[in-house]
Amino acid sequence: MSLDDPVSVANEALAIANQNKFMINNLWILIATALVFVMHLGFAALESGFVQRKNVVNILFKNVMIICIGLLSYYIIGFNLMYPGSNAGGYFVFPEFLVSANSEDLTTAYGNYTIWTDFIFQGMFAATCCTIVSGAVAERIKLMPFILFCCLFVSISYPITGFWKWGAGWLDARGFYDFAGSTLVHSVGGWGALAGIILLGPRKGKFTTAGIKPIPGHSMPLAAVGVFLLWFGWFGFNGGSVLSADPGLVSKVFVTTSLAAAAGGLGAILISILIYKSFDLSMALNGILGGLVGITASADSVSAISSIMIGLIAGLIIPLSISAFDKMKLDDPVGATSVHLVCGIWGTIAVAIFGEYDKGIGEWSDQLIGIAAVGLFTFSFAFIIFYLLKLSMGIRVSEQEERKGLDIEEHNFIAYS
Amino acid sequence: MSLDDPVSVANEALAIANQNKFMINNLWILIATALVFVMHLGFAALESGFVQRKNVVNILFKNVMIICIGLLSYYIIGFNLMYPGSNAGGYFVFPEFLVSANSEDLTTAYGNYTIWTDFIFQGMFAATCCTIVSGAVAERIKLMPFILFCCLFVSISYPITGFWKWGAGWLDARGFYDFAGSTLVHSVGGWGALAGIILLGPRKGKFTTAGIKPIPGHSMPLAAVGVFLLWFGWFGFNGGSVLSADPGLVSKVFVTTSLAAAAGGLGAILISILIYKSFDLSMALNGILGGLVGITASADSVSAISSIMIGLIAGLIIPLSISAFDKMKLDDPVGATSVHLVCGIWGTIAVAIFGEYDKGIGEWSDQLIGIAAVGLFTFSFAFIIFYLLKLSMGIRVSEQEERKGLDIEEHNFIAYS
Amino acid sequence: MSLDDPVSVANEALAIANQNKFMINNLWILIATALVFVMHLGFAALESGFVQRKNVVNILFKNVMIICIGLLSYYIIGFNLMYPGSNAGGYFVFPEFLVSANSEDLTTAYGNYTIWTDFIFQGMFAATCCTIVSGAVAERIKLMPFILFCCLFVSISYPITGFWKWGAGWLDARGFYDFAGSTLVHSVGGWGALAGIILLGPRKGKFTTAGIKPIPGHSMPLAAVGVFLLWFGWFGFNGGSVLSADPGLVSKVFVTTSLAAAAGGLGAILISILIYKSFDLSMALNGILGGLVGITASADSVSAISSIMIGLIAGLIIPLSISAFDKMKLDDPVGATSVHLVCGIWGTIAVAIFGEYDKGIGEWSDQLIGIAAVGLFTFSFAFIIFYLLKLSMGIRVSEQEERKGLDIEEHNFIAYS
């Protein structure tokens, strides 16, 4: 090519520039995928830190199973169910494109990334909805029915409601807005958790005639490490949900996500000091998570000040919500319903209050309908599945097993020798 | 656009190419931000591993608070104080731009990244200076005065000295060089730590009439995990300080940072074997950190061989420094003053010895003036604040509380059930 | 530049576009480097979780030493030995380019990344081969001979076999295919481990007249955290081995790597349930690792379905292999030989079964010759070194030391106070 030929130089430059843009966007979503994967480690650490020493192997085993089964079942059915548009076959068609080894065909499937990238990013998301449930039902659920529940939840329930919004379904058309999943991921997990703990009942010894007895977790360092890792992973969860490496949006999402997390931690600590007169580490940890869940629906479209307000309110909600669930005798060892369900709802409402959108997007009515529709569907689905499992094979371990611990009884193993 | 129109093709190609460059640079600083965030987890793990079992909840709580308060106070005051140039209002003006939700206005604010990116990267840096202090004063400081100290330290002291160099202040004009903060971050944290441990006094039982009694940390795995995570985070701390994704500079920084860390670990081990006749894990861990702190001032401008020398010397310093502080009866449970203050000073001097700069940059006199000026200001600031807190509300827990542990007395909680 | 001058606009656009491409590719390999670094943390956590409480400091110390010595010795000799082509001097020439501080000369050395990037990415890889050995020989090997072994293994043995393929040596010319190192990294580590455990003999009390006695690890959370971190790091290990940020290839590698890991976990669990009638967490964890090792040779060139098959078979192999090694009275506390050697061989064979290559690449004969040649060389090298160390200074600790634990005897320290 010579300098006399500006046309071919210009065309070559344009082609490389367009390839580069695709390369950057795609790379960021892959890095975000790895960060969302870290959230599974974060949940595993958090949940095992918050359970008793005798149930640690069991909760770790569940978290290991969930990521394995979650990815495989999302590959086999979930992805296609959630994004039928990306596959000519529509619903329930086996995703043929993933059978192909020819990656070249797949590099231009979407605007900003390859279809491989799309699948693995969404797959990591999907599997998180079950990890939310696993914490809430810990220390008393049987392993096999829980695994069956996860298979159905991640491959059918989650993709259906996900499709309503992110698959360009009816909620999307209606103007419902949920940036990275306060409702579609977190409250979905929370509704599943709620159904589970209602049908399971509380752990023995939690609600006694002498009052509510706290059952402290066995390792605070493990729980704290888990929360830091979840925050780290959230940079990918929210930052990757921009679905490109757009500089303004991704950097804004990093700021709003971090400020909301910080404000959430602070809010929970303030309430702990004011009401409970204590510096409560587990409240601070759950406050951070509440702030993160709260900002997830609107991280791309609120100001920094608004993100602090959203996080702060989420942090204030956490201790009150945990206390309220306790009063209703709904036993949740890790506070997952408060963090993911209550703050997920709060975050979705916050879109209507703080979000800056065009008219007809994210308004009060849209958001409330979305919360209600997803909640109704998910809670019903989870309740029915858990109920059928309860009737057929039972979902709760025996009293003796609960007393001795699930590690010895289900796994014949102990966490610490 | 047609092939007949090379002008518009060329202009479009140029526009996309320039946008791409901005996108890559911005993305790397955001990823580096996430890595610097991981350092907060690293510090939390390291410090809780190195303290006694009875003080674990307390140190975790502090580290959780620091990241929350650090980010929020840096947003409210610190960022603007440190980089007044980026805001028309000058000093002490509320950073209006962060109130805006309109990210588009903010995408072209700086050359290589958005102003959102700048804020969150700098905010993560700022909060680390308090985590350095928290380790040194652990196991005996009261929680409330420590939190008050952190607020002032991170939002006033750190930004003022940071402004002197990175905000294009007088030290910068003078030729002082500190690439990523051996002085501006690490020795600043170290001076704060030194002021704290002088005013607090040593833990009971550390310096007895029978000699110096080591008080071993409660979990070596936690401490080791912390150091590995800090090394991981340092790729962002130093690599992100290039402030672009420049291939030559970022890759060089990765090499010098890693080789210095490795040489630091080796140096500390060699001294341990030669002098103390033992394979001392905690020395090896602090040696790695010393190497990392040491290379931080010059990671972009020394050869690989020089980076090994810098790290090795830092590693040799660590055991000698820890021993010297012990002899001065200055009690530092995690060795933070040796790692961050002493190796921070060493790293800043190393710029003059090994750095390859233009004339007038990073020379001996410049570096010594920088070390002295930042040290004098920071130590005085920290000493006065701690002293006023000591006079007013007291900074040290009661003897009984120290004996029983801060977890039970301040938090009414234990780390492991 | 004016709009009238399309030539210079076009040329500038082309220049920036080409620089951007270089910048993206280089950045991804650096990020992958940081992820591979995390694998060292993963191994440290996994191995310390799987050993007894009395040997934790020792295994952590080894893992800290390995990364330090590994990087330094790879800098001094290994890199140059493995990639002589990148240095005019050929074999055994000190890598002069790394002495230079002038990064600008080094930014265009290779097509996709700088020579600094190449060195640090390869250096992180190299050091992993020793961490594989450290787990297998844990709880009974002396520290000094192990460190000497590591120096020789990482700086001579690993680079020589690496050169055969990745340095464009004879195995490469022959058509042998090993994408990211099922053979060149993992089975190399596995062969070294096998030589070590043969010469060391089993731990006291493992194989008794009353049968095989399991010696459970001291912390399952630590082991589980390690496996999650290894999976996280594998995104860099395999994803970075694309050696560019090519969107199709990197995203495909993320998918095949994740699906194989998930299938590996599932496969190991299925066998555990069917044969051993238990939900065995450590099998699940090793199954995931087996799947990851298995896919490493072909992650860039198999379909998603094939990656599931490869992982599943690796997962099925794990429990059978662990059981087989036990029957041969070869004692491997962490299962490293099953994971890295057996699944490394399996993954290399899987290339011939599932890989989609041009004719003459990765065929059965090529793969078997590669496995055999690398195995023969590495096992011989490791056996001879360990044997000479055994003759000269002894490689096994005394019976008393083994009983009391290496932490007290070698380090005069305990992991948990």
DSSP assignment of B110-171: SSSS-HHHHHHHHHHHHHHHHHHHHHHTTTTB-HHHHHHHHHHIIIIIHHHHHHHHTTS-HH
Predicted pLDDT of residue B96: 52
Domain B9-411 sits in CATH at 1.10.3430.10
B13 and chain C in contact, CB less than 8 A: yes
Is the model's pLDDT at A2 over the cut of 60? no
Residue of B nearest to A51 (CA): B417
Query: Which chain C residue lies closest to B7 (C-alpha atoms)?
Result: C6
What would the mean pLDDT of B101-117 be, rounded to a whole number?
66
Nearest to B26 by CA among A33, A246, C183, A62: A246
C11 touches chain A (CB under 8 A): yes
| Among candidate residues C146, C7, C119, the one with its CA nearest the CA of residue C64 | C146
In tens, the pLDDT along C197-238 reads: 999 999 999 999 999 998 999 999 999 999 999 999 999 999
Q: Do A71 and C259 touch (CB under 8 A)?
A: yes
Report the alpha-carbon angle C332-C333-C337, nearest 5. 35
Which residues of chain B are within 8 Å of residue C102 when distances are taken between CB atoms? 356
DSSP secondary structure letter of residue A103: G
The owner of tokens 């028309």 is B88
Among A33-37, A115-119, A172-176, B83-87, the minimum mean pLDDT is found in B83-87
Q: Across the strands, what pairs with B211?
A: B208
pLDDT per position as a tens digit, C149-172: 999 999 899 999 999 998 888 999
CA distance C344 to C363: 16
Q: Are C118 and C74 in contact (CB under 8 A)?
A: no
Asked if the Cβ–Cβ distance from C279 to A120 is below 8 Å, we say: no
Rg (CA), chain C: 22
Among A1-10, A221-230, B9-18, B123-132, the range scoring the smallest mean pLDDT is: A1-10
Angle at B282 between CA B280 and CA B283, to 5 degrees: 65
Asked if A204 and A52 touch (Cβ cutoff 8 Å), the reply is: no
Chain C residue with minimal CA distance to B315? C68
What residues 338-367 of chain B have any CB closer than 8 A to a CB of chain A? none
B172 shares contact with chain C (CB less than 8 Å): no
Residues of A with Cβ-Cβ distance to C357 under 8 angstroms: none
| Best residue in C27, C51, C96, C141 for a mutation probing chain B (most B CBs within 10 Å) | C27
> B21 at the A interface (CB within 8 A)?
no
Question: Chain C 84-103, CB below 8 Å of chain B: which residues?
Answer: 98-103
Average pLDDT over residues C318-340: 96
Q: Compute the CA torsion angle C277, C231, C235, C291 (nearest 10 deg).
A: -30
Is the predicted pLDDT of residue C119 greater than 80, yes or no? yes
- The CA distance from A310 to A263, in Å, is 8
Here the tokens at position B171 are: 């030290």
The rounded mean pLDDT for chain C is: 91
A273 touches chain C (CB under 8 A): no
In chain C, which residue's Cα lies nearest the Cα of B226? C41
Q: Which stretches of A74-187 are DSSP H helices? A: 79-82, 115-136, 143-152, 158-165, 170-174
**Spatial CB neighbours of B335, under 8 Å, sequence gap ≥ 6:** B50, B282, B286, B318, B322
Cβ–Cβ below 8 Å for C9 and A10: yes
Residues of A in contact with B56 (CB under 8 A): 220-221
Best residue of C19, C50, C272, C279 to probe chain A, by most A CBs closer than 10 Å? C279
Residues sharing a CB contact under 8 Å with residue B208, sequence separation 6 or more, in sequence order: none
The per-residue DSSP string of C44-107 comes to HHHHHHHS-GGGHHHHHHHHHHHHHHHHHHIIIIIHHHH-GGGSTT-TT---GGGT---GGGGT
Q: Nearest by CB to A17, which of B6, B17, B65?
A: B17
Name C207's bridge partners: C212
| Tens digit of each residue's pLDDT (9 = 90 or more) over B349-359 | 999 999 988 88
Mean pLDDT of B45-68: 96
Instruction: Please judge whether A104 and C306 are an interchain contact, meaning their C-beta atoms are less than 8 angstroms apart.
Output: no
Average pLDDT of chain B to the nearest whole number: 91
User: With an 8 Å Cβ cutoff, are C64 and B284 in contact?
Assistant: yes
**pLDDT > 90? residue A93:** no
Lowest mean pLDDT: which of A1-5, B366-370, B374-378, C110-114?
A1-5
Task: List chains touching B (3+ CB pairs under 8 A).
Answer: A, C
Q: Which CATH architecture has domain A7-411?
A: Orthogonal Bundle (1.10)
- pLDDT for B52 equals 96
CB contact under 8 A, C116 and B229: no
Q: Mean pLDDT throughout B69-74? A: 92
Q: What is the pLDDT of residue A81?
A: 78
pLDDT of residue C97: 53
pLDDT at B63 over 50: yes
A233-275 pLDDT, tens digit per residue, is: 999 999 999 999 999 999 999 999 999 999 999 999 999 999 8
C85 pLDDT above the threshold of 60: no
Could you tell me which residues are beta bridge partners of residue A208? A211
Task: Tell me, yes or no, if the pTM score tops 0.90.
Answer: yes
**Cα gap C164→C342, rounded to integer Å:** 21
Share of chain B above pLDDT 70, in %: 93
**C80 pLDDT higher than 80:** no
- In angstroms, what separates the C-alpha of A252 from chain B's closest C-alpha? 6
Cβ–Cβ gap A220/B57 under 8 Å: yes
Mean pLDDT of B397-417: 91
DSSP one-letter code for A211: E
- The whole-angstrom separation of Cα A109 and Cα A118 is 10
pLDDT at residue B4, as a whole number:
56
Question: Coil, strand or helix: which one is C277?
Answer: coil
User: Residue C94 pLDDT more than 50?
Assistant: no
Instruction: Report residue C6's pLDDT band, with 50, 70 and 90 as the boundaries.
Output: confident
Instruction: List the structure tokens of A395.
Output: 């979902």
Chain A environment of C232 (Cβ under 8 Å): 34, 37-38, 41
Average of pLDDT values for C30-38?
98
Q: Distances in Å between the alpha carbon of B175 and those of B234, B240, B350, C315?
A: 25, 22, 15, 59
* Residue A76 pLDDT class (50, 70, 90 cuts): confident
- CA B291/CA B293 separation, integer angstroms: 6
